Amino acid sequence: MTVSANSLQDFLAHCRSVVGDDFVVCDDAGMAPYLTDWRGRFTGKAAAVLRPATVEQVRLLVTACAQWRVPMVPQGGRTGLVLGSVPDASGDAVVLSLARLNRIRAIDPVNRTITVDAGCILQQVQEAAAAEGCLFPLSLAAEGSCSIGGNLSTNAGGTAVLRYGNTRELCLGLEVVTPQGKLWDGLRGLRKDNTGYDLRDLYIGAEGTLGVITGAVLKLYPQPKACITALAALPTPDHALRLLTLMQDRCGASLTGFELMSAFCLALVAQHFPQLPRPFTAPHGQHVLLELSSNESEAHAVALLEDAIGAALEQGIIDDAVVASSIAQSAGLWQLREHIPLAQAAAGKNIKHDISLPVSRIAEFITVTEPQLQQAFPGCQLVCFGHLGDGNLHFNVAPPDGIGHDAFLANQDAVNRVVHDSVVAFGGSISAEHGIGALKRDDLAHYKSAVELDLMRAIKSALDPMGIMNPGKIL
Amino acid sequence: MTVSANSLQDFLAHCRSVVGDDFVVCDDAGMAPYLTDWRGRFTGKAAAVLRPATVEQVRLLVTACAQWRVPMVPQGGRTGLVLGSVPDASGDAVVLSLARLNRIRAIDPVNRTITVDAGCILQQVQEAAAAEGCLFPLSLAAEGSCSIGGNLSTNAGGTAVLRYGNTRELCLGLEVVTPQGKLWDGLRGLRKDNTGYDLRDLYIGAEGTLGVITGAVLKLYPQPKACITALAALPTPDHALRLLTLMQDRCGASLTGFELMSAFCLALVAQHFPQLPRPFTAPHGQHVLLELSSNESEAHAVALLEDAIGAALEQGIIDDAVVASSIAQSAGLWQLREHIPLAQAAAGKNIKHDISLPVSRIAEFITVTEPQLQQAFPGCQLVCFGHLGDGNLHFNVAPPDGIGHDAFLANQDAVNRVVHDSVVAFGGSISAEHGIGALKRDDLAHYKSAVELDLMRAIKSALDPMGIMNPGKIL
């Protein structure tokens, strides 16, 4: 697919005529920020970085890519974790950055929708919604720099999935430029629309391999009046599952957070961030951070949470609990959860897994998989925490005491295989919220059925017959 | 695509070897129930009706259809309203009835999922969930006879969409036999799974044109402890929208129903069902039936509803209201809503529209469209009611007094055009919850963009290159 030097120059000249000289970046220094992934693990090469400012410019650039057969890599905030938005090492592709396409197009508080350009930063969308008294619930660590187009393309998860779903569930309409340079206007703000195939959900989660998302209509929710947090201590993951059932039965949609943290996770936080609160003096095997939201009042949230915690204590499901009596105290409890990844980073590198399981099988999965890891890598340390309510665990494996982190990382493929084989045996997913990108492409080919891979390839060939849209990602 | 007589006999002999003689129905009397649509408006023809009892039998029959190039029409409970599940008049196709595939495969109350055969009746799924203390929230008029496979294939809506979403939002995993006779096992019970293209949502709503759904993993919810209903009287649809915003801000996910009914609708009910309650003595332009559900208690639901109604009265949004003080009174208020279609039927035929709009534009849509109809069809009577919270109106047009219903129905295409042109101008959908089938295929071609139609055709060709899966439906 390499384009000859002359032809490439013609192509770039055409691109300059579309977006202006300043926005076709070809020099190494100018391109550098667009070529390296978020974690700094890989730097690709590109023929150019194209920076359109309007949907029509995107359409014209994609049309040119199709005409000259130049592969393109759509790129948002470049915060993905699976190398989905950076080009490969060939240097054949152009990066198509959506960063300048960053207008909030419209907000409709009665329809509870917001219409945005794909390049809007997630936090910008949250703030625009809040200014109208609404909540856009998608929330994740990278929200200050990730773009909504990237969130859509990867079907991002985050901390509010238990109540509000993944990005997929938060999107009503899409606008997409096809690999042929056609504009599909699917910007509908409708709760019900059964007029043909669901194209929207095909582009969501396709990681830019089927087309370029340029805009979206997103769902908004009423802003809750209060969010109250509690930390419960309990002996095992199985008790955490019983607590989840009890909380959902009593609180329904008011339960907006349910995060598991093992004793080892909290010990790691205590070691590296001694200034943070230590809610319990006695040791406990597991901890659950609970969050309740109320559209009624803070008093309602507190009473509901205290009653439920009381019932859980009475039934012997939990051993101890702290209910935050203020928003400041709630924030303190969340800090414990948020500092686990930071404490891990301070302790040194480990081998990370972004897995999901049927919620009911999580306890058994941990019970079965931990000894398998211990047998294969004696002394390895499990850093297990995550969105238990969504069945999503961060199941990270740190080296045994005395073994260097880099030396242990040499085992990455073997560790992945133990964990992922077990995940698949339990009916789980090897990528809960990060996607496939280039990083997990071989894993996908290994674990997916031939039927499913063939169906995906048929769709890819139908919508991108030239294979120029983010090649080498997913398939 | 006509199969020669000899070849057809070979094909049917093969089918008999798969499912047994009794389940390949070829005689007219035996086939009759499978050939006529729910409303009795159309009767098609078929070469045979095939009645498999297992997924493997479905797979073998579809493989045979592919080998002999026999078109097939997948069929569930045959309660669809757009002729999606009955064969055309050619007699070339076979009906593939999923009715015998009706096992509840598994329930997992901790994961809050139920795994079912496609032929399960919706009510059977609701009851199986309830037996485990869970709610499967999909609910619609045909629930005693529609099948879950049909609900999925048409992305059915119903009365619980405001809180729980359409069937699409209630499905986590699918099992599908492709037009080539391959089995795709996508029966995953995961809340998060980002491993490639979203095949599930492509089959949901595809009305059996891309494959045969044989099984599904569906989401369950905790059973609410109480549902309490109120009826509010207010002057205009615009006031109803203001009430919706107020209720959502105060009650969040506890608001589970919000149905609009015009004065004309309630007058029609009072005329034909005089035994039903008449909550208000004074006349009012519009009425909203509100439903609140609580996972806490009946007292909580009543207090929350009364507070919100009080605020709406104080703010001058509503003129009057009745809050049901018991479950029996709640049922009485729902009866008013449920008797509107029955009162319409008693009054004679009318021209029905299943439309949706951005919620915020509904009042303006009614204000603009009603005079357009009056101008074109002087004296016609609008029967306007529906799921206002979802933006979904039943916008039905009855004849002027003194004009016969059959004579008026001759205007059907012209009436449809006025309504649908206005719907599209307001950013709405011409099929909110019923789908396209054969009935609205021409409308789809008229109103959808060329880009969207081409994308749908590309997907159809990629997944069903022989065009044997429910031909003539949607596209």
A385 domain residue, yes or no: yes
Q: Tell me, what's the pLDDT at A39?
A: 83
Whether A192 and A286 map to the same domain: the answer is: no
Rounded average pLDDT over A456-467? 98
Taking residue B379's Cβ as centre, other Cβ atoms within 10 Å add up to 10
> For an interface test with A, which of B107, B195, B353 has the most A Cβ atoms less than 10 Å from its Cβ?
B195
Beta carbons of B330 and B228 less than 8 angstroms apart: yes
Of B466, B445, B446, B468, the C-alpha closest to B456 is B445
Which residues of chain A have a CB within 8 Å of the CB of B431? Answer: 193-195
| pLDDT tens sequence across B109-164 | 999 999 999 999 999 999 999 999 999 999 998 999 999 999 999 999 988 999 99
Which CATH number does the domain housing residue A423 bear? 3.30.70.2740
- pLDDT tens, B189-204? 999 999 999 999 999 9
Average pLDDT over every residue of B382-402: 94
Q: How close does chain A come to B189, measured CA to CA in Å?
A: 6
Domain-ending residue, one of A197, A222, A247: A222
Going by pLDDT thresholds of 50, 70 and 90, the confidence category of residue A38 is confident
From chain B, pick out residues whose CB is under 8 angstroms from the CB of A197: 202, 205-206, 210, 455-456, 459-460, 474
CB contact under 8 A, B455 and A254: no
Residue A157: list chain B partners with CB under 8 A: 192, 194
Are A434 and B194 an interchain contact pair (Cβ–Cβ within 8 Å)? yes
Give a yes or no: residue A404 inside a domain: yes
Beta bridge partners of B469: B72
Is B214 found in the same domain as B116?
Answer: yes
Q: What is the DSSP letter of A317?
A: S
CA distance B305 to B307: 5
Q: How far is A183 from chain B (nearest CA, A)?
A: 7
Given a cut of 80, is residue B85 above it in pLDDT? yes
- Please report which helix (H) or strand (E) contains residue A363, including its range: helix A362-376
CB contact under 8 A, A448 and B196: yes
Please name the member of B109, B193, B197 whose beta carbon is closest to the beta carbon of A429: B193
Measure the CA–CA gap between A381 and B108, rounded to whole angstroms: 31
Tokens 């003595």, residue?
Answer: B281
Rounded average pLDDT over B371-391:
95
Question: A120 lies in a domain?
Answer: yes
pTM score of the predicted model: 0.97
CB pairs under 8 A between A and B: 282
How far, in Å, CA of A46 to CA of A71, rounded?
A: 10
Strand-strand pairing, A221-222 and A134-135: antiparallel
Identify whether residues B297 and B191 lie together within a single domain: no
* Residue B275 included in any domain: yes
Strands (E) across A198-262 are located at 212-219, 221-222, 226-234, 255-262
Please indicate, yes or no, whether residues B133 and B188 belong to a single structural domain of this protein.
Answer: yes
> How far are the Cα atoms of A84, A125, B192 from residue A81, in angstroms, in the given order?
8, 22, 16
Q: Identity (one letter) of the amino acid at A228? A: I
Quote the domain boundaries for residue B38: 5-100
- Give the Cα separation of A116 and B151 in Å (integer): 32
Structural domain includes residue B397:
yes
- Helix, strand and coil content of chain B, in percent to the nearest 5, comes to 40, 20, 40
Q: What percent of chain B has pLDDT over 70?
A: 99
Question: Higher pLDDT residue, B341 or A220?
Answer: A220
Q: B111, A360: Cβ pair inside 8 Å?
A: yes
Interface contact flag, B202 A206, Cβ < 8 Å: no
How many Cβ atoms from other residues are within 10 Å of residue B255's Cβ? Answer: 24
Chain A's closest residue to B253, CA to CA, is: A253
B294: which chain A residues are within 8 Å (Cβ-Cβ)?
252
Q: Would you call B451 and A194 a contact, using CB atoms and an 8 Å cutoff?
A: no
Q: How confident is the model at residue A328 (pLDDT cuts 50, 70, 90)?
A: confident
Instruction: Give B21→chain A minimum CA distance, Å.
Output: 31
pLDDT band with cut points at 50, 70 and 90 for residue A404: confident
Nearest to A165 by CA among A392, A394, A448: A392
Cβ contact, residue pair B194, A431, below 8 Å? yes
pLDDT at residue A216 tops 70: yes
Q: What is the pLDDT of residue A41?
A: 86
Q: Specify if A472 maps to a domain.
A: no
Q: Which of B111, B161, B190, B197 to mutate to test the interface with A (most CBs of A within 10 A)?
A: B197
Chain A residues touching residue B434 (CB < 8 angstroms):
194
**Which of B124, B123, B78 has the alpha carbon at shortest distance from B98?**
B78
User: Do A258 and A159 meet the contact criterion of CB atoms below 8 Å apart?
Assistant: no
Lowest-confidence range among A52-66, A223-237, A315-329?
A315-329
Q: How far is A309 from chain B (nearest CA, A)?
A: 14
Using CA atoms, how far apart are residues A37 and B27, in angstroms rounded to an integer? Answer: 65
Count the neighbouring beta carbons within 10 Å of the beta carbon of residue A382: 18
CA–CA gap between residue B321 and residue B333 (Å, rounded): 12
In Å, how far are A234, B156, B191 from B219, measured between CA atoms? 27, 15, 9
Two tokens, residue B137: 């929230």
CA–CA distance, B14 with B20 (Å, rounded to integer)? 10
Mutate to test the interface with A, among B164, B183, B192 (most CBs of A within 10 A): B192
Q: Domain of B176: which CATH number?
A: 3.30.465.10
User: A246 vs chain B: nearest CA distance in angstroms?
Assistant: 10
- The C-alpha atoms of residue B405 and residue B347 are separated, in whole angstroms, by 9
Mean pLDDT of A41-65: 97
Instruction: Judge whether A68 and A7 are in contact, CB under 8 Å.
Output: yes
B452/A199 touch (CB, cutoff 8 Å), yes or no:
yes
Give SS3 for A177.
Answer: strand
Kindly report the nearest CA distance between residue B458 and chain A, in angstroms. 6
Residue whose C-alpha is closest to residue B253's, from B304, B205, B214, B206: B304
Residues of B in Cβ contact (< 8 Å) with A204: 198
- Shared-domain flag, residues B207 and B263: no
Q: Which residue of B has its CA nearest to A207?
A: B196
- At B400-428, the pLDDT tens digits run 988 888 899 999 999 999 999 999 999 99
| B345 — pLDDT class (breaks 50, 70, 90) | confident
The verdict on B108 and B214 lying in the same domain is yes
**DSSP letters of A367-432?**
HHHHHHHHHHSTT-EEEEEEEGGGTEEEEEEEPPTTS-HHHHHTTHHHHHHHHHHHHHHTT-BS-S
Cβ-nearest to B458 among A360, A361, A463: A463
Span A289-313, average pLDDT:
95
Average pLDDT on B303-330 reads 93
Contact A189 B448 (CB under 8 A): no
Considering the domain architecture, whether residues B79 and B137 belong to the same structural domain is answered as: no
Which residues of chain A does B253 touch, with a Cβ-Cβ cutoff of 8 Å?
A: 163, 252-254, 295
Question: Which of A192, A253, A451 has the CB atom closest to B166's CB atom?
Answer: A192
Residue of A135, A153, A174, A194 to mutate, testing the B interface (most B Cβ within 10 Å of its Cβ):
A194
- Domain end: B69, B85, B100, which one? B100
**Cβ contact B195–A250 (<8 Å):** no
Give me the number of domains chain B comprises. 4
Is B451 within 8 Å of A360 when comparing Cβ atoms?
Answer: no
Residues of B in contact with A194 (CB under 8 A): 154-155, 157, 205, 429, 431-436
Residue B229 · residue B324 · CB < 8 Å: yes
**Which residue would you say has higher pLDDT here, B227 or B327?**
B227
Structure tokens at A296: 């009624």
| Measured CA distances, A89 to A12, A44, A434, A471, B147 (Å) | 20, 5, 22, 12, 51
Closest chain A residue to B450, measured at CA: A184
Please, which pLDDT band fits residue A326 given cuts at 50, 70 and 90? confident
Look at B194 and A459 and tell me if their CB atoms are within 8 Å. no
- Partner-chain contact B113 A198, CB within 8 Å: no
pLDDT of residue B337: 92
Q: How confident is the model at residue A129 (pLDDT cuts 50, 70, 90)?
A: very high
Look at residue A2 in the predicted model and tell me its pLDDT. 56
Residues of B in contact with A465 (CB under 8 A): none
Give the distance from residue B446's alpha carbon to the nearest chain A alpha carbon, in angstroms.
Answer: 12
Whether B1 shows a pLDDT value over 70: the answer reads: no
Q: Is B359's CB within 8 Å of A431's CB?
A: no
The whole-chain average pLDDT of chain B stands at 95
- For residue B6, give how far its alpha carbon lies from the nearest alpha carbon of chain A (Å): 33
The nearest CA of chain A is from the CA of B135 a distance in Å of 11
Looking at the structure, do residues A284 and A185 belong to the same domain, yes or no? no
CATH of the domain at B296: 3.30.70.2190
Asked whether residue B466 is assigned to any structural domain, the reply reads no
Distance from CA of A456 to the nearest CA of B (A): 6
Of the three residues B294, B313, B341, the one that is the final residue of a domain is B341
Q: Are A199 and B456 an interchain contact pair (Cβ–Cβ within 8 Å)?
A: yes
- Compute and round to an integer the Cα radius of gyration of chain A: 23
Q: Does residue A25 form part of some domain?
A: yes
CATH of the domain at B35: 3.30.43.10
Q: Are residues B41 and B76 in the same domain?
A: yes
Distance of alpha carbon B216 from alpha carbon B135, whole angstroms: 16
The structure tokens listed for B162 are 């405001």
Give residue A5's pLDDT band: very low, low, confident or very high (50, 70, 90).
confident
State the Cα–Cα distance between residues B214 and B186, nearest whole angstrom: 11
- SS3 of residue B62 by DSSP: helix
pLDDT greater than 60 at residue B395:
yes
Interface test with A, best of B105, B112, B171, B194 (most A CBs within 10 A): B194
Are both B127 and B185 inside the same structural domain? yes
In terms of domains, do A400 and A360 share one? yes
Out of A295, A391, A454, name the one closest to residue B191 (CB). A391
Task: Using CA coordinates, name the residue in chain A closest to B433.
Answer: A194
Residue-averaged pLDDT of chain A = 96
Q: Are residues A269 and A369 in the same domain?
A: no
pLDDT for the residue B6? 79
The amino acid sitting at A71 is P
* Residue B101 dihedral angles phi and psi, to the nearest 5°: -90, 80
Distance (Å) from the C-alpha of residue B278 to the closest C-alpha of chain A? 30
pLDDT above 60 for A18: yes
Length of chain B: 475
